């Protein structure tokens, strides 16, 4: 295990090298606004019926009459200050909207990731330990089928089975039903907030609403995670150093866990990072199916009603999360694998 200082150095280095990517996204969205059909000033104004003078004022404010590079600087300054424009739909600033809705998306995605990891990794490991067995064939079959089913289809079918046929799941719209009141917001994660407020009934309602969408999203990634865990574990178990461990008479537990599994986990860390980024995209689908009030459905609704400022804000937000997640995975991997240089 590396020293804390070395890890911090590594994190700083990786962050520095991901800044160009972030900058690239900023420039990209900037160009996006310039290419958009219509007048950017209108998006930042108070509404489509804003008066001509107001639009002119905004245009001067945004510096749309200035040369492009100067506009870029202006734009970067705005973004740095947190000014992402105003949404025509909600009438609020985009930053506020995003801040309100981000916890919902994060709660969904993180819960899904947790469910996926807790199911996929043990499945993959067991399948690798018993190659050719029923479990192994079952896992492989599941993986082969799992990557083929689109998320939105599995979500809708889950609703059909658990809500319509079995009546176990609640009405698949939103995070809580109309009867329960929202707890005081501490983290924005309803499940946690309810627990913190000691409201167990509320927690149960929130949990029931969360389960189906989280499982839908998790299903989407269990298959690739299990598959990579199984493959990685197989490679690890067949490697030279495991053979050495056997030749010296190490116990089964030590061979499988300390030698094989710890090595096998490394590629899984990398894949988990990629999977999380994919889930950021799948968010759009799941939030649509379950009418989950997250940032993705917000941006989608905005896009389809030609309200472009939220879309820009959403892209920026997703890109930033993406970069941060990559960074975290990188640092985590650097801690786990001593071969990786700082």
Partner 1 sequence: MTEPLLRIEDLHVTFSTRQGLVEAVRGITVSLEPGEMLGLVGESGSGKSVTGFATTRLLDPAGRVTRGRVLYRGQDITRIPDSDFRALHGAAMSMIFQNPRAALNPIRSVGLQIVDAILSHKRMSKQAAADEALKLLRAVQIRDPEKRMSAYPHELSGGMCQRVMIAIAISCNPMLLIADEPTTGLDVTTQKVVMDLLAKIAAERGMATILITHDLGLAAQYCARVVVMEKGRLVEEAPPETLFHRPQHDYTKRLVAASPTASSRIEDLVTEEERGQYLAALAASRPRPEPPPGTPPLLDVRNLAKRYDQGPPAVANFSMTMKAGESVGLVGESGSGKTTTSRMICRLIDASEGEILFDGESIGQVPAREFHRSPHRKDIQIVFQDPNESLNPRFTAFDCVAHPLSRLSGMRPGDALRQRVEECAMRVGLPVELLSRFPHQLSGGQKARVGIARAIACRPRLLVLDEPTAALDVSVQAVVLQLLDRLRREDHLALLFVSHDLNVVRMMCDRTIVLRNGGIVEAGESRALFDHPESEYTRALVDAVPHIRSAGTPRLIEGQLT
Partner 2 sequence: MASATLRHTVWILRGNPLTAVAASGVLMLVLVAIFGPSIVPYDPIASKVSEALLPPSAAHLAGTDQLGRDTFSRLLVATRLDLVIAVAAVGISFVLGAIIGAFCGYAGGRLDRSVGRFVDVMMAFPLFVLAMAMVAALGNRVENIVIATAIINLPFYIRFARAEVNVRRNVGWVEAARASGESHTSVVLRFLLPNVLPAMAVQMSLNLGWAILNAAGLSFIGLGVRPPTPEWGIMVAEGARFISTGKWWLVAFPGLALMLAVLCFNLLGDGLRDILDPRMRT
Q: Which residues bind partner 1 (CB under 8 A)?
A: 239-241, 243-251, 254, 258-259, 262-263, 266, 336-339
Residue 59 contacts partner 2 per CB under 8 A: no
Containing H/E element for 212? helix 200-237
| Contact (CB, 8 A) for 182 and 100 | no
| Contact (CB, 8 A) for 126 and 135 | yes
- The one of partner 2, partner 1, none whose footprint includes residue 152, by CB under 5 to 8 A per kind, is partner 2
| Contact (CB, 8 A) for 186 and 251 | no
- Select 116 or 299, whichever has its Cβ closest to partner 2: 299
x/- track of binding to partner 2 for residues 219-248 (CB under 8 A): --------x--xx--x--------------
List CB contacts of 7: < 8 A, sequence separation 6 or more.
331, 334, 335
Residue 18 contacts partner 2 per CB under 8 A: yes
Residue 314, helix vs strand vs coil? helix
Token pair 């574990």 is found at 233
| Binding-site member from 1, 16, 35, 166 for partner 2 (CB under 8 A) | 35
Give me the least distance between CB of 130 and partner 1, in Å please. 13
In this chain, which stretch among 49-57, 94-102, 247-255, 310-318 interacts with partner 2, using CB under 8 A? 310-318
What part of residues 268-307 is at the interface with partner 2 (CB under 8 A)? 273-274, 277-278, 280-285, 288-289, 296, 299-300, 303-304
Give me the least distance between CB of 267 and partner 1, in Å please. 13
- Select 251 or 305, whichever has its Cβ closest to partner 1: 251
Q: Tell me, by CB under 8 A, how many residues bind partner 2.
A: 60
Closest CA to 222 of 110, 326, 300, 114: 114
Which backbone phi and psi does 93 adopt, to 5 degrees?
Answer: -75, 150
Tell me how far the alpha carbon of residue 212 is from its chain's centroid. 17
- The one of partner 1, partner 2, none whose footprint includes residue 251, by CB under 5 to 8 A per kind, is partner 1
In this chain, which stretch among 21-29, 97-105, 113-121, 211-219 interacts with partner 2, using CB under 8 A? 21-29
- The one of partner 2, partner 1, none whose footprint includes residue 199, by CB under 5 to 8 A per kind, is none
Residue 338 contacts partner 2 per CB under 8 A: no
Give me the least distance between CB of 337 and partner 1, in Å please. 6
| Contact (CB, 8 A) for 255 and 268 | no
CA dist 222 and 33 (Å) reads 37
Q: What is the DSSP string of 254-309?
A: IIIIIIIIHHHHHHHHHHHHHHHHHHHHHHHHHHHHHT--SHHHHHHHHHHTT-HH
Torsion of CA 31, 36, 42, 44, to 10 degrees: -40
Residue 29, helix vs strand vs coil? helix
Point out which residues bind partner 2 (CB under 8 A): 17-18, 21, 28-29, 31-32, 35-37, 144-145, 147-154, 156-157, 159-160, 163-165, 171-172, 227, 230-231, 234, 273-274, 277-278, 280-285, 288-289, 296, 299-300, 303-304, 308, 311-312, 314-315, 318-319, 322-323, 326
């Amino acid at each position: 295990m590396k020293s804390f200082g070395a890890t911090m150095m590594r994190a700083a280095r990786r962050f520095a090298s991901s800044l160009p990517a972030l900058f690239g996204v900023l420039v990209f969205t900037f160009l996006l606004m310039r290419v958009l059909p219509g007048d950017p000033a209108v998006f930042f104004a108070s509404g489509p019926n804003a008066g001509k003078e107001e639009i002119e004022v905004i245009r001067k404010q945004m510096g749309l009459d200035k040369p492009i590079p100067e506009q870029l600087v202006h734009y970067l300054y705005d973004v740095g200050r947190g000014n992402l424009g105003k949404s025509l739909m909600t009438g609020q600033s985009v930053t506020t909207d995003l801040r309100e809705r981000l916890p919902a998306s994060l709660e969904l995605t993180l819960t899904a990731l947790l469910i996926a990891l807790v199911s996929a990794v043990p499945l993959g490991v067991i399948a690798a330990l018993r190659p050719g067995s029923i479990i192994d064939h079952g896992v492989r079959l599941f993986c082969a089928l799992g990557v083929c089913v689109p998320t939105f289809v599995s979500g809708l079918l889950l609703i059909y089975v658990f809500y319509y046929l079995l009546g176990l799941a609640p009405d698949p719209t939103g995070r809580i039903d109309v009867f329960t009141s929202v707890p005081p917001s501490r983290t924005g994660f309803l499940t946690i907030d309810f627990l913190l407020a000691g409201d167990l009934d509320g927690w149960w309602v929130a949990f029931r609403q969360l389960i189906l969408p989280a499982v839908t999203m998790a299903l989407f990634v269990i298959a690739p995670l299990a598959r990579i865990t199984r493959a990685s574990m197989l490679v690890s178990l067949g490697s030279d150093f495991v053979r050495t461990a056997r030749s010296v008479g190490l116990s089964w537990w030590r061979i499988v866990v300390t030698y094989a599994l710890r090595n096998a986990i490394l590629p899984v860390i990398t894949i988990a990072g990629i999977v999380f980024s994919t889930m950021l995209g799948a968010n759009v689908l799941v939030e649509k199916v379950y009418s989950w009030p997250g940032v993705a459905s917000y941006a989608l609704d905005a896009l389809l009603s030609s309200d472009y400022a939220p879309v820009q804000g959403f892209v920026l937000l997703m890109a930033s999360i993406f970069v941060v997640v990559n960074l975290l995975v990188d640092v985590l991997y650097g801690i786990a694998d001593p071969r990786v240089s700082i």
